[in-house]
Each structure stands twice: as C-alpha cells, then as structure tokens.
Structure 1
Amino acid sequence: MLDCIPLAALAQAVPVLPEGPGWWYEPKCDGHRTVLRRADETVVLYARSGRVVTQHWMDLAVAGMTLRPGTVLDGGAVIWRDGRLDFAAAQSRAASSVTRARALAARHPASYICWDVLQHPDPPPAPPPPQPAPPTRPPNPARQALPGQAPSLRELPEPPDAVKARELLTGLVVADEDDVPGCSRSMFPHWVTQYGTCDIRDVVLQRDGRDVVRDDQCRAVSGTWYSEYDGLTIASASGIDHVVLLKEAWRSGRPSGRRPGGARSPTT
C-alpha cells in the first residue's frame, strides 16, 4: 500500500508540440487536478500540491469506494453543466467552506476524469514480446481499474497521435471574455452587519484566523490565515477576500436565477 502522499506529475509549457517515439497526447480538462487514493476503509483525494481535499469532493470519495483498496488514480475533478465543463463551478466548490461544498455537490455533482493509474492492487502484466511493427499504446490503464464503475468515475478516450493532436490544437478558438449580461457589482451586497460594528467579513476573519487582533471598529489588524485553496499562510487580512472572482460567481449562479451571497453568510 502507498505510504506517502501521491503527487501529480505537472505539465510544462513548450513552444512546439513534441514528437517522436513514445509521445502520446491527452486533452486538458477544465477542472481541478486530483489524485484519488482508495485505502483499506476510505478514499482520500489530494490536490496537486498534496493537500487533502476529500471534504470538498465527497461525492467523488463516495464513488471511489467502489474501487478496490490499493488503487491510486491520477485525474481531474470536473463539473458538467448544460453539456459542458464548468470551470467556475469547480472553482467555487474548491474554494468554498465544507458546508457550502456539500450543498454545491447536491446541486451539481462532480465527475472524476481518470487518465492514469498510479497504483493498482494487481501485479503489472508481463510486457508483450517484441514486435517488428512500431508498438502501439496499450489500452488506457483506467479501464483495468474502472470496469463497470459509477458514472462519477470516467476514463479519457484513447489519445490521438501527433497529427491529430496538432489538428485539434489548430482548431481551437480563443473566445473573447463576454460581458456577462446582467452582472453588476450592485448585485453583490457588501458585507452584512452581524452585531455591533462587526460585519460578516470581520466575523469570518476572527473565526478562521490565528492570533487575530481587532481594533475598536472590529477590523482585523493582525493575525495569520491559512488558505485551504492553495496551502499558503497569509499574514494580511487584505489578501483573502475573493478567492472566486465576483463575475465568475455571477456566471455560476445566473443560469438558475440564483444570486451569489458570498458577502452575506459565513457558510458561502
């Protein structure tokens, strides 16, 4: 069994698509890179930094319980909405409180796109005998780990060769950022008063910080705050207000007519 934190192999930007023996190409899914480990009695999900993010993706952890203990997958947590991947929804889930993440999971369940098996409980198959023809890529290893699994666990299709990958890249269109009709700063009421001179921001900073000192207006003037989103400890309260941009929050809520309430409730 794995006795260390599994880290994802990260891609590097290159000016030219690499080619040659052994190169295969996989699409980049608009989601959160996540390693899924099925332990003896539970499932643990890790962000690409190695941080445990299981509580934010409990729907995937539940689906992962159908895997055999000892399986470790590399892939991404994604959210489908209206027939497409919604990165803003994935961002909102990852950056929310645990209570809010569970509510979002009930509204928009996540899927796990698997593109590699880092560990499998069965021994690896024997290598094939030498072939005179150029070798082809073996079947996606995710198929060995995911036979008949829940719909939340998906495998990628077989990757294209260099010619097809270049054709797909050439066909990509970078769309202009739209103006998000109807989005206005006025739709995001500012920090709601909780008691006295303390608003919701003051309350959350006090709740989630360490050694927080407040002035006579209830504002945090010193302390430290740990960012669950990127694993950083921040020593300034001014740098932690909006993990998800307001426009992206509007974009996520607009299709169902909901209005974001991030400045109104300590659980959003």
Structure 2
Amino acid sequence: MACGNLTAADQALQQAEALTRQETLAGQALLVAGMRAWYWLVGGNPDAASRWAEQVVFSPHTWTPSDNDVFLMQIRVYLAQQHSERTLDLLEQFREQLDRPGNIALAMEYLAAYAVALHQAGRREHVQAVMSRLLAMTEPEGSLRVYLDEGQPMKRVLQTLLTVPRGTQTTDLSPALSRSYVRRLLTAFEHHASRPAQHTSRTDASPLGAREPLSPQELNVLRLLAAGSTYVEIAQELIVSPNTIKTQVGSIYRKLGVNRRTQAIEAARQLRWL
C-alpha cells in the first residue's frame, strides 16, 4: 500500500486473512482486519472501513501491546472521515499506552496522528508543540515514512508550520522548529505523489524479508536503541567501547537491510525480535 500497488496489497491481505483463520490467531486476526480497513480507505471504500472501526473497542485496563497497531488503524479511519473531536478524545484517553519513551516508533506514530487531529479540530496553538517534538525525534534519523503515511492532512500540517513566525514556541518545553527539515518533508510529499505505483518484489522488501538472526549481544544493543539510548549510554550499559557499539549497530542494520535507527526498530518489531 505504501508503494501504491493495491493489487499486490490485496493478494497479501488475502493470504494473511487465510493464515489467521487457519491458525486461529485472534490477536493477529484483529490486526489483519485493521490492515484491511486501511486498504479500504486507500482503495476508496470508506464505508467499509468505518463499519470496522465502529466495531473495535479498547479499554486502558485490558490494553496489551498487540492493541497498539490496531488502535492506530482505527484512528487512521476516523482521521480520514475527519472525526477530529472523537479522534482527539481517543488519543488523549490512551496517551499513556501509546506515547511511551521506550517505544520510539510507536510514540512517533501517535504524535503524527495527534498533530493531524489537532489541525483538523482547529486547535492550531497546540499543533506546533506536538510537531516540534515529533520533528525533533525524527530529524536525526531522517525519517519520512511516519509523515507520508498520514497523507495530505499531514502535508497541510507541515505547510502551516512554515507560516509560524521564527523563534515562536508554544511552550518552554517545545524545541524550535527545523524549517529546513519541514521543507525537506514537503519535498518528499511531492516526490511521493508524482512517482508511479511500484511493484515491490520480495527481494526489495528487505526488513520483512530479513532472516539472518541477531546475536544475543546485538539483540541487547537493539533493545537499548529502541529505548532511545545513545551509543555512549549503550556502551556504558554493556561495558564495552563506543566503537564496539558502532560496529554492532552496523551489523544490525546490515542484517535488517536498513540504515537508520527508526527503520531498524520498525523492522525488528515486524519480525518480533523486540
């Protein structure tokens, strides 16, 4: 779906749906159903996506990690329908479950959805604080996907950031906006919109196709990377030199077929290595 190849996405979803029925994997079945709802949104069937979203109910008291992705799929459906107030209520209700320092990739997805919902609701004074934090998290890694997945609503959010007077901050805690990074993200949107749909082969999908296992030490490094630790902090924790950590991180990236921390975290999550 990220490459615009809906035919291949439908085929992959049908295989995933068949596997969840065959193996009776209830938790995975809910996630696959959420992916199907996303497919309906992209493919122009919002009513079907809406029916799915209305049937899914979460509780902070029974929350499990497997709920994370499903909940964000539900949020994506509500954002597409511009149910901004309802979306904000849900995001604020489940903030503690999603905005977690130990799971950077999840926190970034949460902040992206939150910023779009705030923008849709006309709460522009809060958008800058949320986006400042998100940009500060993603700029060091050069992340693009978390923005592109939100589509045109996120593009509009980024455009409004360039109209904010320089040096303006919503709170003392929000970092200054990186206008050059915002412009770079907007350029990525233009490139993404102009490119033709791609037909990605299995050999191209390196994170999902990765199979070479990590060593126990590399898994320890990966977990600390996911927790947001710096190389120096990881070296101190594992009682090795920072140069050793750099070498091990390079090995992790090679095995996962990625070149950034956030990409490695997302690939490892999909492979259930974290």
TM exceeding 0.5: no
Relative to its length, the structure with more strand (as a share) is 1
| Structure label with greater radius of gyration | 1
TM-score normalised by L of structure 2: 0.23
